[in-house]
Amino acid sequence: MTAARTVAPLLEARAVSFHRQDEPVFVPLDFQLHTGELALVEGDNGSGKTTLLRMLAGLLHLGAGELLWRGEALQRDLCAGDILFLGHQLGLKADLSPRENLRVATGLHGTRDGTDIASLLAEIGLRGYEDEPVRRLSAGQKKRAALARLAMLPATLWLLDEPYANLDRAGIALVNDMLERHTGAGGAAMVTSHGMVSFHGGEPRRIRMHG
């Protein structure tokens, strides 16, 4: 990248790869992600997008290469809680209401400054469903509840696997809005998606995956 940057990137990958049963899931990747940036991870089905995000989140071990977090080797306790991951499984308890789910999450992570559960749930389109068990919500509403958790917790890097799935047009706009606000406030995000993303905050960085 440019030599002009003096600040270490938030996240830097050097020749990162991952093997499953000795078969490479994706070819060695190099990329940098700075605060305020959004990266789109692009690739076909099975190209390893989810694997990459799970590895960055720390759920999978680093196959090969190097991962740097603010210039230092990425370690679990160094960035615990600073990286949030939202995958296909939303991590919501079906027997708890959105409000209770958020309360558990804030109990573990803390609360982002200037947010509170009630107004956030209303803003995200779950007004009237705050105390309904998640089990009774539609797929899109569940997704919204998970997004509310994302907005609620203090973190720098968001790793979002297919955040647009199951969402209507308003929901997609909501995700884009959230991403803009997050990156605008000094956060960063990596997003995987098949579809085109209309991101208003400038051209996102693109990371191409080849199986």
- The site for another protein (CB under 8 A) is made up of 20-23, 57-61, 80-85, 87-96, 100, 103-110, 112-113, 133, 154
Q: How far apart are CA 36 and CA 33, in angstroms?
A: 9
Do residues 133 and 96 touch, judged by C-beta distance below 8 A? yes
Q: How far apart are CA 29 and CA 208, in angstroms?
A: 9
Half-sphere exposure for 146 (CA within 13 Å, toward CB): 30
Choose between 140 and 204: whose C-beta lies nearer to another protein.
140
| Exposure class string for 170-179: b at 16+ Cβ within 10 A, else e | ebeebbbebb
Q: How far apart are CA 24 and CA 18, in angstroms?
A: 6
Choose between 16 and 176: whose C-beta lies nearer to another protein.
16
Do residues 192 and 160 touch, judged by C-beta distance below 8 A? yes
Q: How many CB atoms lie within 10 A of CB 194?
A: 12
The rounded Cα 129 to chain-centroid distance in angstroms is 24
Q: How many CB atoms lie within 10 A of CB 100?
A: 17
Q: Is 157 helix (H, G, I), strand (E, B) or coil?
A: strand
